[in-house]
Amino acid sequence: MLGSALHLDATRRVECAFVSHAHGDHIARHDRTIATAATLALMRHRLGVPRRTRSEHLPAAHRSPFGLGDLTLELFPAGHVLGSAQLRVARDGVVIGYTGDLCTQPTDAAEPAEVMPCEVLVLESTFGLPRYVFPPKAEVLAAIRRFVDDALSDGQTPVLLGYALGKAQEILKHLSDRGYRCRAHPVVHGVNRVYEEMGVRLPGVRPLGPEGPERDEVVVCPPHLAASTAMHGVRRRRTAVLSGWAIDGGRHFRGVDAAFPLSDHADFPSLVAYARATGAGRVYTLHGQAEALAATLRREGLRAQPLREELQLELL
């Protein structure tokens, strides 16, 4: 049935791929795609539906093992964006886990991450340096609400900049559940519709139109579209960016009034704790600070080394 390798988050078309989540650096139009139903819906939204396709989608539910060739696969929630999944693969008695992008602090708009017990762990290491320690999410969200309240009481429109998939829905869900009236940039609105189809309610969120927001409304927009035509109606702005990189201070961002470390990735202590919690005897670190995280895990007594991308597929 399998006939070839199972690729993980391949960004070019392959025969058969597992897609952990629908961010642009993890997706492509594959012949066969294994992913959660939410990830498949978000991929269709982002990539469009090709007119002529022989592609096949294999929706998989979290925590429901299934066979593929001589592999047994099981998905675990990754807590990163809606539908995001870790993949556990068992073959010949060896159990390998691949986290994809992982966030262990629960969010309002994604399935909370679960620990994936495994023997060999491939662990993302975006924030794999000891200085990356995020405050508790509740504190970050409270600070964002204060920023919004202050801007509104000063007669300004709070503009929150966050990625169109995941970060935008997280803050929109948080604010709209608490009675804030929100406007979403059209690109965010398109993703919101998929979230709502998949059961994430976003009450009080409307698309941003050319007339701009009303006095008491909050605008959520992707960072690279802050100056786009759709934002021309947003005049008296007070702007904040929502990103884990805010932990480095403002040096990553220009032209914003504030930056809040709202992250959809695990911070350094969470990555180390997660590696331990899986029980893995060997850890390969991937992306971001792979070298540094592997070195720390070795000091903690784990066998760990960075994984070069081309080695990734040979594991399977």
CA atoms within 13 A on the CB side of 5: 13
Q: Smallest gap, in angstroms, from Cβ of residue 173 to Zn ion?
A: 18
Q: Smallest gap, in angstroms, from Cβ of residue 191 to Zn ion?
A: 13
Buried b (16+ CB within 10 A) or exposed e, 232-262: eebeebbbbbbbbbbbeeeeebeebebbbbb
- Alpha helices by DSSP H, the chain: 37-47, 137-153, 167-177, 186-197, 268-278, 290-299, 309-312
Minimum CB distance to Zn ion smaller for 151 or for 168: 168
Minimum CB distance to Zn ion smaller for 148 or for 246: 246
Decide: 39 and 85 in contact? Cβ < 8 Å.
yes
Q: Smallest gap, in angstroms, from Cβ of residue 22 to Zn ion?
A: 8
State the Cα angle at 76 between 71 and 80, rounded to 5°. 130
| Backbone Cα Rg of the chain | 20
Decide: 186 and 268 in contact? Cβ < 8 Å.
no
Minimum CB distance to Zn ion smaller for 68 or for 286: 286
Q: Smallest gap, in angstroms, from Cβ of residue 163 to Zn ion?
A: 8
Residues with Cβ within 8 Å of residue 4, at least 6 apart in sequence: 15, 16
Minimum CB distance to Zn ion smaller for 27 or for 182: 27
Integer Cα distance of 39 and 143 in angstroms: 30
Residues with Cβ within 8 Å of residue 39, at least 6 apart in sequence: 19, 20, 21, 22, 83, 84, 85
Minimum CB distance to Zn ion smaller for 147 or for 163: 163
Minimum CB distance to Zn ion smaller for 217 or for 264: 264
Q: Smallest gap, in angstroms, from Cβ of residue 103 to Zn ion?
A: 9
Decide: 220 and 160 in contact? Cβ < 8 Å.
yes
Q: Smallest gap, in angstroms, from Cβ of residue 255 to Zn ion?
A: 24
Token couple for 257: 């009034």
Minimum CB distance to Zn ion smaller for 126 or for 157: 126
Minimum CB distance to Zn ion smaller for 42 or for 220: 42
Q: Smallest gap, in angstroms, from Cβ of residue 188 to Zn ion?
A: 16
Binding site for Zn ion (CB under 5 A): 23, 101
Q: Smallest gap, in angstroms, from Cβ of residue 18 to Zn ion?
A: 14
Strands (E) in 5-93, as ranges, are: 7-8, 16-18, 32-35, 56-59, 66-68, 71-77, 85-91
